[in-house]
Chain A
Amino acid sequence: MTAHIVVERVGQEFRSPGRTVVALRDIDLTVERGELVCLLGPSGCGKSTLLNAIAGFLHPTSGRILVDDAPVVGPGPDRGMVFQEYALFPWMTVADNVAFGLRVKGVGRAAARQRAAELLGRLGLADFGDRYPKDLSGGMRQRVAIARVLAIDSPVLLMDEPFGALDALTRASLQDLLLGLWAELERTILFVTHSIDESIYLADRVVVMTYRPGTIRRDLRVDLPRPRDPSSAPFNEIKRELAELVMNEQHRQEAAERGGAARD
């Protein structure tokens, strides 16, 4: 295995008058090619900030990020992003959404439509190509968003709490769908979540982040065979360990918020 994403001593500060938030401090992280890594932590721990920096939407205050040995300078289709809020273009049909990245790349209309139809078929949405996103449920929208990044063949998939807004059953079925696609297509996936169960169910490695400043607290390899059984003993052993770490950060976050409220 070779390193696909390398994050070196990355720091990110957000300054506003009278206040500086250290969102990330000294982050070192390497993701191997074909690996599925989950970033886990409470809200405000900087996991989405790190993902956005890798996506190229943010320019870190310090350190550097390499993808395929090349420094990240901006967003690009080599790192397809799936957003929690889907971010499907509501004014385009489902098929046009999936074809968008291909059309941008210069693929002809017919070929792009054909590829979109194939992907929608794969994701169980064959009959929905001509519909608009508003006609779809949350789970279907997120499948369209996944088809949209698969269409551009990104070697890296960045997923920002993609299943966070879905109900538990839809979430479980999309997790299995994602694992199936990952096994088949051999992509490198960096997946942000605040669900401990989700991270253990999906990941080769779970990276636990701390609340401000955002640092890496623990980098845990999950060696359970897939499909994993969330009720099994080893699963729950890992869960106990991670829960302690995450809840610790959660309490720090709550204390900080109370402190902030008291100051105001």
Chain B
Amino acid sequence: MRARPLLTGLLVPVLLVAAWQAAASAGLASPQALPSPLDVLLRWWEYLAPPEAFDPAQSSRLGWILSGELVGDALASLYRVLLGFAIGTGLALPLGLLMGASDRAHRLLNPLFQVLRPIPPIAYIPLAILWFGLGNPPAVFLIVIGAFFPVLINTITGVRHLDAVYLRAARNLGAGRVTIFTRVMLPGATPYILAGARIGIGTAFIVVIVSEMIAVNGGLGYRILEAREYTWTDKVIAGMFTIGLIGLAIDTVMSRISRYLLRWHQELER
């Protein structure tokens, strides 16, 4: 970003934070309802910084830097998101290609998925706890469900929307079923698949926070709920900002990956 758009983009947030600080300093809201931005920032630093002084005998430099509570929480949440997303996508992608390519597979499986799809992943929480207890397994299970459907639906759509002329050209050039699957249908459907993956990882990120609030003793979702119990509002808000920043980072990475994978795509040229 150049300097000018960056400045323009910062204008509204800076004004908002300034107004917030002014309101807090003037005592318009109790610190328990809305702590000042400065308090939130200090709390965020405390949450982020390593709890103890650096001791070479105890840990490496990097290990020490990462020993803060926030870092541990963020890594735990991120791990669950990525694992669940990888499993969900790993299941949805081949199934979606199959259902997109074969009418029979579509007729066989689509009714089931149409019934399951409207159930929000959050609604699986009681079942997830009954099946998997507490901790990572139920959380990852919920994330798998959250990531699965957007990728599945978009993969099916992507394959079905593929211009039939590509399939005819591939068959004309002598391609068999497997080649058509891997070198025509899959790449041809990537614009849709990536759009689905982006929705899927967004859903996964929502689901991880909720499931940590209910079924896990760790991660960002757990931490902000815990902070509420102590009425540490500044820590709640610091945690929320952290969640927002990580969400933004994930989306940025996804969009970079999309842009690379779709470098052949016409519509990206603007």
Which residues of A are in contact with B by a Cβ distance under 8 Å? 55, 57, 74-77, 79-81, 83, 85, 87-93, 100-101, 104-105, 132-134, 148-149, 152
Which residue of A has the minimal Cβ distance to B171? A75
| Contact residues, B167-196 vs A (CB, 8 A) | 168-176, 179, 183-184, 187-188, 190
Instruction: Jot down 6 A-B pairs with beta carbons below 8 A, ordered by A.
Output: A77-B172, A88-B169, A89-B188, A91-B265, A104-B179, A148-B173
B199 to chain A, nearest CB (A): 22
Contact of B174 among A83, A89, A105 (CB under 8 A): A105
Mask of B96-139 contacts with A, CB within 8 angstroms, 1/0: 00000000000000000000000000000000000000000000
Partner of A76, one of B172, B263, B264, B265: B172
Q: Return the contact of A90 from the options B168, B170, B179, B265 (Cβ within 8 A).
A: B265
Contact of A89 among B169, B190, B266, B269 (CB under 8 A): B169
Given A91-B187, A91-B264, A85 and B172 touching (CB < 8 A)? no
**Bound: A85/B164 CA distance, A:** 12
A57–B175 CA distance with the chains assembled, in angstroms: 14
Task: Please name 5 further chain A to chain B contacts, defined as beta carbons within 8 Å, in addition to the given A75-B168, A104-B173, sorted by A numbering.
Answer: A80-B173, A91-B187, A101-B173, A132-B264, A134-B265
Cα distance A172–B169 when bound, in Å? Answer: 25
Give B contacts to A, CB under 8 Å.
165-166, 168-176, 179, 183-184, 187-188, 190, 263-266, 269
Q: Which residues of A contact B176 (CB under 8 A)?
A: 104
B267 nearest in chain A by CB position: A134
Query: Nearest B residue to A55 by beta-carbon distance?
Result: B172
Report the Cα distance A238→B64, complex, angstroms.
Answer: 89
Q: Is the CB of A75 within 8 A of B188?
A: no
B180 nearest CB across to chain A (Å): 10
- Decide: B173 and A100 in contact? CB cutoff 8 A: yes
Q: Tell whether A81 pairs with B266 under 8 Å between CB atoms, given A87-B165, A87-B166, A89-B166.
A: no
- Interchain nearest-CB distance for B261 vs A (Å): 9
Smallest CB separation, B184 vs chain A (Å): 7
> Please, which residues of chain A bring their CB within 8 A of the CB of B179?
104
What's the minimum C-beta distance from A139 to chain B, rounded to whole angstroms? Answer: 17
Given contacts A104-B174, A104-B179, contact A57 B168 (CB under 8 A): yes
B165 touches A76 (CB 8 A): no
Query: Are A91 and B173 closer than 8 Å at their CB atoms?
Result: no
List of B residues within 8 angstroms of A148 by Cβ: 173
How far, in angstroms, from A83 to B164 measured CA to CA in the complex? 12
- Give CA–CA (A104, B169) in the complex, Å: 13
Give every chain B residue within 8 A of A87 (Cβ-Cβ): 165-166, 168-169
Q: Let me know if B172 and A81 touch, CB within 8 A.
A: yes
Residue with the greatest number of chain A CB neighbours at <10 A, chosen from B168, B169, B171, B187: B169
A136 CB to closest chain B CB (Å) equals 12
A101 contacts across to B, CB distance below 8 A: 173-174
Distance in Å: Cβ of A125 to nearest Cβ of chain B: 17
Question: Which chain A residues lie closer than 8 Å to B184 at the CB level?
Answer: 89
Q: B264 and A83: CB pair below 8 A?
A: no
Q: Which 6 A-B pairs have the closest CB atoms?
A: A77-B174, A101-B173, A91-B187, A87-B169, A132-B264, A75-B171
Q: Which of chain A's residues have a CB closer than 8 A to the CB of B170?
A: 89, 100
Q: Which residues of B contact A152 (CB under 8 A)?
A: 173-174
The residues of A that contact B264 with a CB separation of less than 8 Å are: 90-93, 132-134
Q: Say yes or no: A91 contacts B190, CB within 8 Å.
A: yes
